[in-house]
Amino acid sequence: MAQRKGFRQMLDEALAEIVTLPVEEAKALHGDPAVVFVDLRDPRELEREGLIPGSFHATRGMLEFWIDPESPYHKPVFAEKKKFVFYCAGGWRSALAAQTARAMGLEDVAHIDGGFGRWKEAGFPVETRAPRQKPPGQQGGD
């Protein structure tokens, strides 16, 4: 079966629909209580690289379930009337996530152009995250 749509086309479509914030504009929003920064990266990325201080962590794979109030996995943060600024490592996952969040009814969404990588390159604040502890008996490989 031939591929109908590749990731580049999907990204282009998302970028045409969503708000993309230059990292400097995102920094200006940081700390505003009406804004939630949402980190979409995997836990290992957070442990390795850190995160934007005060960010809410929502792995990309669970986002739709956490946004939907009908889902048993719904997170109340997504029911708040706030601006949501999504970010990932480089801006691809966050562009697709912002498009999805908007399609699901979140009205004020954006993503950071260049993602966490660009935030870090700009010298903006980064918070470290300790590695999660595995329960006894679950040590070793994944």
Residue found under tokens 């908007």? 102
Dist CA 104 CA 67 (whole Å): 8
> Residue range 110-115: average pLDDT?
98
State pTM to two decimals: 0.89
Domains identified in the chain, total number: 1
103-131 as b/e: b if 16+ CB within 10 A? eeebeebbbbbbbbbbbbeeebeeeebee
Dist CA 72 CA 65 (whole Å): 8
The β-bridge relationship of strands 56-57 and 83-87 is unpaired
For the cut 90, the answer to whether the pLDDT of residue 3 exceeds it is no
Domain CATH number, residue 104: 3.40.250.10
Residue 97 lies in a domain: yes
The tokens describing 22, both together, are 């230059």
Residue 142 lies in a domain: no
Residue 82 lies in a domain: yes
> Residue range 115-128: average pLDDT?
97
* The predicted structure's pLDDT at residue 142: 41
Residue 57, domain extent: 10-121
Q: Which is more confident, 140 or 21? A: 21
pLDDT in tens, 11-66: 999 999 999 999 999 999 999 999 999 999 999 999 999 999 999 999 999 999 99
* Residue 96 CB neighbour total at 10 angstroms: 23
